Amino acid sequence: MNSKNDQLFCNVREMKIKTAKPILNEAVIREWFYHQRERTSIYYKKEILNLPPYWTEDKILRNYKFVNTKRTWDKETKWLLTNITNNDKLSYDNKILNSFLFRVVNKSDTFNEIDAPFDFTNMTIHDINEKIREKTLNISIKKPGYVFFSAAYILGGPKFNFGKYLENIEGTTENDMVIRMIKFVYYNQDKIVNGVKSSRNQLEVFEHLKSFSGIGDFLAYQIFIDLTYLANFPFTELNFVISGPGCERGINWIFSNRDGMNSEECLFWFTINQNNIAEKYNEHWNMDEIFHFLPKEERVYTLMDMENSGACEIDKRCRTKFNNKRPKQKYHYQSNNIELFYN
């Protein structure tokens, strides 16, 4: 796969990764390979073949929500790719700005309702205060109780810190949370774009995104990954990773002993050694067979896949299987507009 201008092994110790001899938890490793294969099979049956449920015999995957093996298959990222990333009507600058905005809202239904994405470079503050505000108010009137933000991420940081920023700029409190997000991007558009464009490697992009008050490690990394989908963006998801809290827990399940590697180095190590690990434990891991429905060049399990599905989701699976603790989100099935619950 094309690594564009990536700094290889960005922000990790290459020699440590290449020489490390960690100890893995065999029971967890077997769960890991099984989960990746089965979750991919579910996606294929559900989204590609359009088969009715159930798509698996595995009770954990039937009962609870787990992210897709690949991040680009998730609903919100699919919307981003269609409406922002591959939108020929948007300039590169506007794609960067809308990608930033999208992930701090992370709900495509909201973006559809307010007619996003936006042309920030030609927008005025009047447009936001009048036209867009009217749309958010109409949503609240038409759909009382509508939740404007996704529950997938903890977005309290941007909501609070962006609000404090606007108080300093406008001298008043902006109570509409969606308008807060839009105004923040509007006022900071030059800073956001210039910082992204001037970054010399992946870490500098990440640090630039994190420099905005309210954007923590997790959100900065998610926005960075969104930017890697842009054709003009010089970096990819292949050589840089940030371990989030759920990912950290998953790594602790997988590795009985890390041999001195930090979390990001563990993710690199596992990604690089995935085929050797599969061979050692006699686990089926043929990319052409598991990802058979993808174009040949996309049949690969990447560093981002490892962070997103490999580590975070194995924590949820292992807590359920080995510690009898249930994941937070139960899966609700839709069939002929009637919700079916599998118990």
Q: Has residue 150 been placed in a domain?
A: yes
Same domain? 100 vs 210: yes
Tell me, yes or no, whether 120 and 253 share the same domain: no
Give pLDDT, residue 323: 85
pLDDT for res 155: 61
pLDDT at 12: 98
Residues 64 and 92 in one domain: no
> Does pLDDT of 303 surpass 90?
yes
Q: What is the pTM of this model?
A: 0.93
CA distances from 79 to 83, 139, 299 (A): 6, 20, 22
92/223 same-domain check: yes
Q: Which H or E element spans position 257? A: strand 255-257
Mean pLDDT for the chain overall: 93
* Statement to judge: residues 129 and 170 lie in one domain: yes
Residue numbers of the domain that contains 48: 14-72+242-340
Last residue of a domain, one of 178, 199, 228: 228
Same domain, 208 and 254: no
What pLDDT shows up at residue 338? 34
Q: What percent of the chain has pLDDT over 70?
A: 95
How does residue 330 score in pLDDT terms, banded at 50, 70 and 90? confident
pLDDT band at 105, cuts 50/70/90?
Answer: very high
CB 332 within 8 A of CB 339: yes
In this structure, are 94 and 212 located in the same domain?
yes
pLDDT at 117: 98
What mean pLDDT do residues 225-235 have? 98
Whether the per-residue pLDDT at 335 is higher than 80: the answer is no
Q: For residue 311, what pLDDT band results from cuts at 50, 70 and 90?
A: very high
Across the range 5-29, mean pLDDT stands at 98
151 has a pLDDT exceeding 90: no
How many folded domains does the chain comprise?
A: 2
DSSP 172: S
Give the pLDDT of residue 339: 40
Instruction: Identify whether the C-beta of residue 139 lies closer than 8 Å to the C-beta of residue 113.
Output: yes
Asked whether residue 303 is assigned to any structural domain, the reply reads yes
Contacts of 89 (CB under 8 A, 6+ apart): none
